[in-house]
Chain A
Amino acid sequence: MREPDAMDLGRALTAVATRVAYPPTPTIAPAVTARLSAARETGVRPPLPGLALWTRRRLLVAIAIGVLALLGIAAATRLAVGAFQIREVPTLRPGVTTTPLPETIGRAVTLDEARRIAGFRVRVPLGLAEPTTVRIFSSPFGDRSVLLAWDDPAFPDLAGTPWTLVLLELPGDEEFAFKLVAGQGAVRDVEVGGRRGYWLEKPHQLLLETVTEVQTYLVMGNVLVWDAGEGIALRLETSLPLRDALALAETIR
């Protein structure tokens, strides 16, 4: 009888591998995600190096709104559509960044990737080519949000950006996009496809909170914000006038 060599043993062990009776594998994912979510809520540990604690970020949003509104919050009119909150404030604080949104937020993906990753139906206007830029980012509540931008020359330029259209798609009812508009009456009630929305023509400020940061932008274009149904709020930024913007919004599916 020949003594088994390493090859014999290796093959026999590999054959045994499928027959070992390990204890049943416990369900681990719910406990892990609950611990991570709880840690974020309490600010126990930041998910990213150098990142302010989540609770601190929430505070930062409140402070930023307060500063930008120059103590006008108490008198501000507050409107909300899904994840968007709109405040009419007496004046805007000058000097906020004018960096175009698509270049700084989240990470770049293709439209197909966005559709797979988003967790909701990503909408685009009918008849347009694929967006030039698609970015995906996580909201502070863990939902994925999508930003699409086009440089289609059929539309007028958006001042301060390389784009002609920007569409932001935010899920959920928890507010994490704050728009500050100067002056009473700067926001018009509108309807898009029978759903509630708002139209903002004046330059305004946008505070966008992601899971990693809070960014502030000065928006020079016109903006249509509306409830698109299925728990999604849309924000279309364009230099088109209201009537044309509404017509375009009606094609977004």
Chain B
Amino acid sequence: MEGRPLQDPELIELAKDGDVRAYGELVERYRQIAFRTAYLITRNAADAEDAAQDAFVKAYYALQRFRTREPFRPWLLRIVSNEAKNRARSARRREGLTLRLAEGGPPEDAGPSPEAAATLRETQEALLAALAMLREEDRLVIAYRYLLELSETETAEVLGVRPGTVKSRLSRALGRLRERLPSALGTTELEAADA
């Protein structure tokens, strides 16, 4: 292919015409966020992979109903989310969500000292542990908004609610997250985690 990479609307139009290769390019572009969205729901890598794959196939067949100039990402992620929820329901898994920090710390220039780096890691692990303890509705609104870094509008579309509902749901979910954090964790530690 010549020139710059095709934009989403161009690939979508080609895919609507039945161009499977163009759709493959879209899949490649969104596979990571689709897989992570599914993983946050299924809590299992194999199920997340299956859910993401099925969602991409379903999205292809639904493309004719998609308005090309609308953002593709939230539309796709809603399909992924529904597919993952169906799979999680049928799997009836009892395991909780396990989110861990990647090995190694932040870049060296981000941590003033080994002690500070250790504190930062503890704080971030505590945050993830508290997140995992939340019920699904709270966990997903936080995860979509902050871990996947979707906008409020995108989060609303993926959850199938109005943007105003995201605001209120997020506020309540953050309140419950705070309740699950160790009492020793105050603004100082969180500010360090934000550094």
Interface residues on A, range: 35 or more
Complex partner residue of B14 from A25, A30, A117, CB under 8 angstroms? A117
Per-residue contact bits, chain A 158-193, to B (CB 8 Å; 1 contact, 0 not): 000000000000000000000000000000000000
Kindly state the separation between the CA atoms of A13 and B194 in the bound complex, as whole angstroms.
8
A-contacting residues, B124-141, CB 8 Å:
124, 127-128, 131
Complex partner residue of B27 from A8, A9, A28, A119, CB under 8 angstroms? A28
User: Interface on chain B toward A: helix, strand, loop, or mixed SS?
Assistant: helix
Q: Does A128 lie at the interface of the complex (its beta carbon under 8 Å from any beta carbon of B)?
A: no
Q: Which residues of B lie under 8 Å from residue A22 when comparing CB positions?
A: 35-36, 39, 99
Q: Does B88 lie at the interface of the complex (its beta carbon under 8 Å from any beta carbon of A)?
A: no
Most A CB contacts (10 A, CB to CB) among B25, B36, B60, B171 go to B60
Per-residue contact bits, chain B 125-165, to A (CB 8 Å; 1 contact, 0 not): 00110010000000000100111110000000000000000
Say whether A33 contacts B21, CB under 8 Å: yes
Say whether A117 contacts B35, CB under 8 Å: no
Task: Tell me the count of chain B residues lying within 8 A, CB to CB, of chain A.
Answer: 68
Per-residue contact bits, chain B 159-188, to A (CB 8 Å; 1 contact, 0 not): 000000000001100110110010001111
Say whether A49 contacts B64, CB under 8 Å: yes
Say whether B100 contacts A21, CB under 8 Å: yes
Known: A4-B178, A20-B101. 17 other contacts (CB 8 A): A4-B190, A6-B175, A8-B191, A10-B145, A12-B194, A14-B146, A21-B100, A25-B31, A25-B36, A28-B31, A28-B52, A29-B24, A33-B21, A33-B27, A47-B18, A138-B14, A211-B18
